[in-house]
Amino acid sequence: MREVNVNVITERVKQLCIEANTDLNQEVLDILDRLGAMEESPVGKELFAEYRENAEIARQEKVALCQDTGLAVIWMDLGQDVTLVGGDLNEAIDEGVRQGYKEGYLRKSACHPFTRKNTGDNTPAILHLNMVPGDKIKLWVVPKGGGAENMSIVSMLTPGVGKKGVMDFVVERVRMAGSNPCPPTVVGVGIGGTFEKAALLAKKSLLRPLGAPHPDPEVAEMEREILDRVNNLGIGPQGLGGRITSLAVHIEMIPCHIASLPVAVNLNCHSHRHKETVI
Q: Is 32 helix (H, G, I), strand (E, B) or coil?
A: helix
The pLDDT of residue 68 is 97
Q: Which helix (H) or strand (E) holds 147?
A: helix 146-150
What does the buried/exposed string (b/e) look like for 207-244 if buried means 16 or more CB atoms within 10 Å of the residue's CB? ebebbebbeeeebeebbeebbebbbeeebbbbbeebbb
Q: Is 50 helix (H, G, I), strand (E, B) or coil?
A: helix
Q: Answer yes or no: pTM beyond 0.75.
A: yes
Q: By the 8 A CB rule, do 163 and 223 touch?
A: no
What confidence tens digit (pLDDT) does each residue in 230-247 have? 999 999 999 999 999 999
Q: Which residues contact 125 (CB under 8 A, 6 or more apart)?
A: 13, 71, 72, 73, 74, 93, 94, 96, 97
* CA-based R_g, the chain, Å: 19
Task: Report, as ranges of residue numbers, the positions in the chain whose pLDDT lies below 70.
Answer: none
Q: Where in the chain is the domain with CATH 3.30.1330?
A: 147-271
User: Beta strands 71-79 and 82-85: pairing type?
Assistant: unpaired
If we measure between CA atoms, which residue out of 212, 234, 273, 203 comes closest to residue 40? 234
Counts for the chain of helices (H) and strands (E), in that order: 8, 10
CATH topology of domain 147-271: 60s Ribosomal Protein L30; Chain: A; (3.30.1330)
What confidence tens digit (pLDDT) does each residue in 61-119 have? 999 999 999 999 999 999 999 999 999 999 999 999 999 999 999 999 999 999 999 99
